[in-house]
Amino acid sequence: MTWSAADLAIVGLSLQVACVGTLATLPIAIVVALLLARGRFWGRSVLNAVVHLPLVMPPVVTGYLLLRLFGRRGPIGAFLEDVFGIVLAFRWTGAALAAGVMGFPLMVRAIRIAIEQVDTRLEEAAASLGASPAWTIATVTLPLALPGILSGLILAFAKALGEFGATITFVSNIPGETRTLALAIYTFTQTPDGDTHVWRLAILSIAVSFVALLASETLARRLERRR
């Protein structure tokens, strides 16, 4: 089985969307995970519920909310376009936003669990030696939680790579611009004699996802042994 240049272009766009979406949300995920793992404040349960909403809501609803907020007439989308000239709706950057939002809960959960497993006595020891809370987090908490951070990052990437519902609702299915692997597979299932294309793209999708999950497990084990 051979893959055409169009197939590889779809894979390249999918990897670009998944990488940008995942890396852009990583700093936010770390902050939110720290708040959920170490914070004691009113509304913590509400924040946890909001973070995990994309996992339980229909993806189409998530995509519609993104369209209403980040579309060219939405409050955030109009501001970004007027001030910075950034347009997200019906662009690959919007696909990256949708992918990042859908993978965000998985990333936060993995990082939160890793932070909760860090011995708080080590953080207290650093504080007793004069380290500020921010410095303690940067030099003690996050390095010890690094396996979980990497696992969350790669799991979110794998989720972003297969995102469909929110993406097609927010940025449509535009060839060369927003047509990722999942959207391309859907398109060819609706096309007469599209089975060959579906099989080629499905195999590519499975291979990329498998490599991502295998890399996550391998990195986590190596970092755990080093720690």
Under the banding of pLDDT at 50, 70 and 90, the label for residue 44 is confident
| Exposure on the CB side of residue 170, measured as CA atoms within 13 A | 35
Euclidean distance between CA atoms 102 and 53, whole angstroms:
9
For the full predicted model, state whether its pTM sits above 0.85.
yes
Distance CA 166, CA 178 (A): 12
Are 184 and 190 in contact by the 8 Å Cβ rule? The answer is no
Q: Would you state the torsion angle of the CA atoms of residues 60, 61, 62, 64, taken in this order, to the nearest 10 degrees? A: 90
Name the residue ranges covered by the structural domains of the chain: 5-226
Residue-wise pLDDT tens digits, 62-114 = 999 999 999 888 899 899 988 888 888 889 999 999 999 999 999 999 999 98
- pLDDT, tens digit, for every residue of 148-183? 898 888 889 988 988 899 999 999 888 888 889 889
Q: How far is CA 20 from the centre of its chain?
A: 9
CA-CA distances (angstroms) from residue 28 to 14, 100, 107, 182?
22, 11, 10, 26
Per CATH, the number for 5-226 is 1.10.3720.10
